[in-house]
């Protein structure tokens, strides 16, 4: 019995060693990071910075591929169905945790169809408006929204995106109906906001700061708990301090691989992500846009997954209370 047990154990160890050996040279070709939003937006920006910083530790080219639409669910589904060989990965944001409560039929299972590779950053959002908007501070904006109930257009990156979520909370806290205008990402939405085709948008500091600095959009507040230290946002109140008690939202991004990716590959990728996040260039590029690179335990795959689960519970309740759903 003991011998049999030992033989089985030895065979299992041999199998693991053989599998690890088969992946020892990974990656042997370029790795693709799928971004489920349009090019030029916050998710795209972090993915491109990460791709750049991953090149050295992976000793390979890392390519960003935008598969946008339906609030990020099309790109996420693509990665869930990809071959689990470490060559197709997903960089997705808070939408990973909000989509399950919003979509009646989600084409993947958030907790079962992915390997979690670590949370990478957190960014506050800003509430911004078109340049010609007839309000210059949050108090005026609030009056303007209620005077134009139902006529105010607020852009977002599709159902379940961070901008959609922020718009939902804003609408609920102001008790004023707005018209939600979906785009494939906040980059194209920003173009329309600057052009005055839409009135408002919630956007991560990553993409909003350059436009606020260039005075191409108006800023009414930030969604963080404390005011932001960036010079262009230091005068902007938090939305909670501007009168929306409890309004707080930070948008995080994480990296995922399809379920079944070999553990040797996952370990290699997690190690490379940790190295990439220590890259001073990457840290600097994120910090000037108000983004914090994650350095805590959520870089551990198991902690990343636990965090997503906790966010699913938190946002699930807020979404259920809002009555919002999508097909």
Nearer to ligand ASP, 42 or 237 (CB): 42
Cβ of residue 77: shortest distance to ligand ASP, in angstroms? 17
Q: Is residue 186 a contact point for ligand ASP (CB under 6 A)?
A: yes
Between CA 250 and CA 182 the distance in angstroms is: 20
| CA dihedral for 284, 288, 294, 296, sign (positive or negative) | positive
Candidate list 67, 126, 204, 270; residue touching ligand ASP; CB under 6 A = 204
Give the interface segment with ligand ASP, choosing from 126-134, 183-191, 216-224, 291-299 (CB under 6 A). Answer: 183-191
Q: Is residue 117 a contact point for ligand ASP (CB under 6 A)?
A: no
Candidate list 47, 159, 162, 276; residue touching ligand ASP; CB under 6 A = 162
Nearer to ligand ASP, 110 or 261 (CB): 110
Subset of residues 16 to 75 that bind ligand ASP, contact rule: CB under 6 A: 37-38, 41-44
Nearer to ligand ASP, 70 or 141 (CB): 70
Between CA 62 and CA 25 the distance in angstroms is: 16
20, 85, 111, 145, 305 from 262: Cα distances, Å? 8, 7, 17, 52, 18
Between CA 116 and CA 48 the distance in angstroms is: 19
- Residues in contact with ligand ASP, counted by CB under 6 A, come to a total of 16
Nearer to ligand ASP, 76 or 162 (CB): 162
Nearer to ligand ASP, 86 or 95 (CB): 95
Spacing of C-alpha 212 from chain mean position: 21
Tokens representing residue 177 in the block:
């109906």
Name the residue with tokens 């960003």.
64
Q: What is the 3-state secondary structure (H, E, C) of 19-39?
A: HHHHCCCCCCCCEEEEECCCC
Subset of residues 265 to 294 that bind ligand ASP, contact rule: CB under 6 A: none
Q: CB-based burial of residue 1 (10 Å sphere; 0-12 exposed, 13-18 middle, 19+ buried)?
A: exposed
Cβ of residue 41: shortest distance to ligand ASP, in angstroms? 3
- Contact between 47 and 3 under an 8 Å Cβ cutoff? The reply is no
Residues in touch with ligand ASP (CB under 6 A): 37-38, 41-44, 93, 157, 161-163, 185-187, 203-204
């Amino acid at each position: 019995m003991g011998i049999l047990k030992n033989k089985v154990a030895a065979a299992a160890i041999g199998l693991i060693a053989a599998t690890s050996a088969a992946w020892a040279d990974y990656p042997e070709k370029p790795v693709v990071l799928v971004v489920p939003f349009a090019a030029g937006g916050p998710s795209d920006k972090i993915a491109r910075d990460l791709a750049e910083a991953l090149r050295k530790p992976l000793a390979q080219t890392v390519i960003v591929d935008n598969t946008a639409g339906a609030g990020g669910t099309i790109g996420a589904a693509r990665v869930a169905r990809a071959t689990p060989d470490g060559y197709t990965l997903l960089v997705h944001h808070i939408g990973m945790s909000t989509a399950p409560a919003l979509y009646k039929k989600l084409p993947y299972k958030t907790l079962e169809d992915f390997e979690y590779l670590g949370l990478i950053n957190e960014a506050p959002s800003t509430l911004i408006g078109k340049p010609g908007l007839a309000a210059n501070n949050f108090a005026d904006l609030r009056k303007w929204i209620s005077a134009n109930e139902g006529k105010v257009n607020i852009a977002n990156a599709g159902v379940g995106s961070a901008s959609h979520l922020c718009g939902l909370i804003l609408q609920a806290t102001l008790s004023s109906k707005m018209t939600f205008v979906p785009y494939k990402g906040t980059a194209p939405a920003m173009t329309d906001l600057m052009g005055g085709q839409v009135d408002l948008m919630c956007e991560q500091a990553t993409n909003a700061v350059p436009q606020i600095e260039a005075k191409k959009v108006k800023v009414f507040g930030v969604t963080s708990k404390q005011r932001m230290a960036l010079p262009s946002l230091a005068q902007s109140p938090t939305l909670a301090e501007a009168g929306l008690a409890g309004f707080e939202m930070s948008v995080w991004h994480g990296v995922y691989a399809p379920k079944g990716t070999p553990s040797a590959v996952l370990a290699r990728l997690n190690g490379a992500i940790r190295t990439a996040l220590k890259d001073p260039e990457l840290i600097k590029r994120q910090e000037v846009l108000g983004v914090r690179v994650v350095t805590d335990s959520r870089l551990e795959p198991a902690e990343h997954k636990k965090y997503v689960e906790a966010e699913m519970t938190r946002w699930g309740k807020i979404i259920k209370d809002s009555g919002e759903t999508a097909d």
